[in-house]
Amino acid sequence: MIRIGMIGADSTHTESYTKLVNLPGAPLFGRAQVVKLWGEDRTQAQEKAALYQIPEVTASPAEAISGVDMVMICNRYGDDHTAPARLAIAAGLPTFVDKPFANDLADVRGLVALAADTGTALMSCSAVRYAVEVMALQPRLAEFGPLNLAVTSGPAAGDFPNPRARHPFFYGIHPVELLHTLLGPGAEAVSTQRSARCDVGVVDYADGRQGVINLLQKSPSFYHGVVYGEQGWAEIEIRNWDQFYVGTLERIISMAETKAAPYPIDWAVEVMAILTALLRSAENGGQRIPLSEL
């Protein structure tokens, strides 16, 4: 059984992932167990540990990564991810960094470089990548012939009182991850038009495909995607929130078992580069931002 050390207790993702492996009868019970938890608010960490049967609440992140098989970085906000992720990667432990990877592309690249230097398996994604609706669509994409365009939409920011939830990476990551899952890698540049209601980013791919990402300032919580090919099209609306955690955690556990991430970590870097370029373009009057310049 894979022993997981979890860092971060301030996010609902702490319990969303932990309950899938720690509670008897859960979908992934028996494959792994969260055995240690560290959180900045110790009382909060202790409460979640009691509810979800985590044996040990540690006094430091360093203690949370000691004596485990893998580490999950689940702090709510991206600027809290880099330091503990570096600690886990430097220890050679397979590491999952929850969304967003970090709040700065330079930090993302630094973590990836460290993983390469240490030979450590590293994964980061929004759980929408493994939503059941997305997984059901992917085998059908070949039916549509060469793909021309995908359009994805979702809220621009989280509805939380903490102003850190307004950071555009916090929720903006979800529509970008969905676009990347539908069209795959190869983004070249991004141009964005900003209004009071939304940011609309157009992603150019080297082979002529395009993506459109809508980050909506006022909207319900939803994620929607449409993909168009030369011979067909389809749309999805992600509704099954619980199941995308199952799909993601299955891949995280497999990474710990095999010491290999489910897809190249460069894909996660590209997702963050697209998001960075989208926002930079919006802040610069719609200027086209090549990813190669970031």
Buried b (16+ CB within 10 A) or exposed e, 43-64: eebeebbeebebeebbeebeeb
Report d(CA 257, CA 73) in Å as an integer. 18
Question: CATH homologous superfamily of domain 2-124?
Answer: NAD(P)-binding Rossmann-like Domain (3.40.50.720)
Q: Provide the pLDDT for residue 158.
A: 77
Given pLDDT bands bounded at 50, 70 and 90, which one contains residue 221? confident
Inter-CA distances, 104 with 168, 202, 269, 272, 279, Å:
11, 21, 11, 9, 12
pLDDT at 19 > cutoff 80: yes
pLDDT at 184 > cutoff 90: yes
pLDDT digits (tens, 9 = 90+) for 86-123: 999 999 999 999 999 999 999 999 999 999 999 999 99
Architecture of domain 128-239+272-293: 2-Layer Sandwich (3.30)
Q: Provide the pLDDT for residue 195.
A: 95
Query: What pTM was computed for the model?
Result: 0.96
Cα–Cα–Cα angle for 141, 149, 140, rounded to 5 degrees: 10
Given pLDDT bands bounded at 50, 70 and 90, which one contains residue 240? confident
Domain boundaries, the chain: 2-124, 128-239+272-293
Residue 159 exposed, middle or buried by CB count within 10 Å (0-12, 13-18, 19+): exposed
